[in-house]
Amino acid sequence: MTPVSAPAQDFAAVRAQLAARATELGFAAIGVTGVSGVQLDRDESRLLAWLAAGRHGDMHYMARHGTKRSRPDQLRPGTLRVISARMNYWPAESRAPDAVLADPTLGYVSRYALGRDYHRLMRRALKKLADHLEALLEPLASLMPQARPGPHGYRVFVDSAPVLEKALARNAGLGWIGKHTNLIARDAGSYFFLGEIYTDVPLPVDPPASAHCGSCTACLPACPTAAIVAPGQLDARRCISYLTIELKGPIPESLRPALGNRIYGCDDCQLVCPWNRYARAAAHPDFKVRHGLDAPRLSVLFGWTSTQFDTHMRGSAIYRLGFERWLRNIAVALGNAPSEPETVAALNARRDDPSALVREHVHWALERHNAL
C-alpha cells in the first residue's frame, strides 16, 4: 500500500521541536528554506557575473563546482529543504577593536578567529541536530512521502562544500545580505557563523528576510582598501580578509599600506554597521580569546618559531594559514608600524628568513623604515 503524506501539522511540530533542540546546542537561530526559486536564480546569476569579472581572485574553488553552489539538489540529490543555522561568535571580553586598530604596534586579528576553530564545533552541533531530527521523524515513518528503509537522507556543511550559505540563510529568514555582502540579523547584527543541513524531509519553510540597510552606506567608505566597489558588490582581490587569508602569494605592494596592522582578516565594514549595536556575545566558551590574540604585540608575534606557531595556533582557524603566510602578514604590519628600534630589530631578525615570500615582505618593510 502506498503511504500517505504526513499531515502538515506533524512536520510543523517537528520544526518547532528542532528549534528548541538547536537552542540547547548553542545555536542562536535556525531557519528552513526550499531549494529553488526566483531569489536563488538571481543569486546564481550574480555569482556567475562575479566569477566572470574575476572578482574571486585566486579562489578557484568558487568556480570549480559550476551551479552546485546555488542548486542544493545538485550538490546532494534528493534534497528538499535546507536548514540554516547561525551561531554567535562575538568575544565580549576581547579588547576593543578600535583601540587595537589605533595602536600600530599591535596586531589586529578578526574577532571570529580569536578563539578555537568554529568548523569542527559547528559540524558536531549540526550533526547532533540532524540526529535529533531523525528521532523526531520516527513516529512519522509510516506517513513519509517516500516508502524507503533506513534513516532520512541529509548532509551537514560548515564551509566544507560549494554552498551559497548567505543566500540560503536569507531565504530561511535568518537575516538579509547587507551592502558589505555579510548577512545581518535585526536582533543580532552580523557577528555569527553559518552552517547548513541539507535534508530530504519536507519541513515547513520560513519566509525570507527583508532588507533593512535603508539609505545607510557606512560600510562602503569604511573599507580600508575600497573592496566594496558598490552596495552589495565586493571585489575579493582588494579585500583584506582575502589578502591575509586566501591569497597564497605576495600581497600586492599597492595595497600593503592600507592593511595597517590587520594581520588576519578584517572587521572594519562590520564595526561601523549600526545593526551591530545588537550583536550578541558568544555563548560557547570555545570562542573566548586564546593566547592574547585580541591585542598581541607585533614584534613578539614576529619572533615566534614555527614550533611556537604550531603550539599556539593548533585548534584555531589561523592554523590553516600556515607559519609562512602568518609571517608574511606580520611583516606588512611591521612595515606600517612606527620606525622604532623594536620594529626594525624584529624585521632584521628575519632579513634572511628561509622563505622567499617572507624575505620579500621583510625587505619591503625595511625599505619603508629606510633601514636597508
Per the CB < 8 A criterion, the answer to whether 129 and 289 are in contact is no
- Residue 296 · residue 262 · CB < 8 Å: no
Closest CA to 353 of 303, 284, 301: 303
Cα→Cα distances 209→111, 184, 351, Å: 25, 10, 52
Catalytic annotation on 286? no
The neighbour count for residue 214, using CB atoms within 10 Å, is: 7
Greatest alpha-carbon pair distance for the chain in Å reads: 84
CA distance 293 to 290: 6
Which residue among the candidates 10, 103, 117, 159 is catalytic per the annotation?
Answer: 159
Residue appearing with cell numbers 534513516: 151
Three-class secondary structure assignment of 169-200? HHHCCCCEECCCCCEEECCCECCEEEEEEEEC
The length of the chain is: 372
Cα separation, 156 vs 154, whole angstroms: 7
Give the residue numbers annotated as catalytic, written as ranges: 159
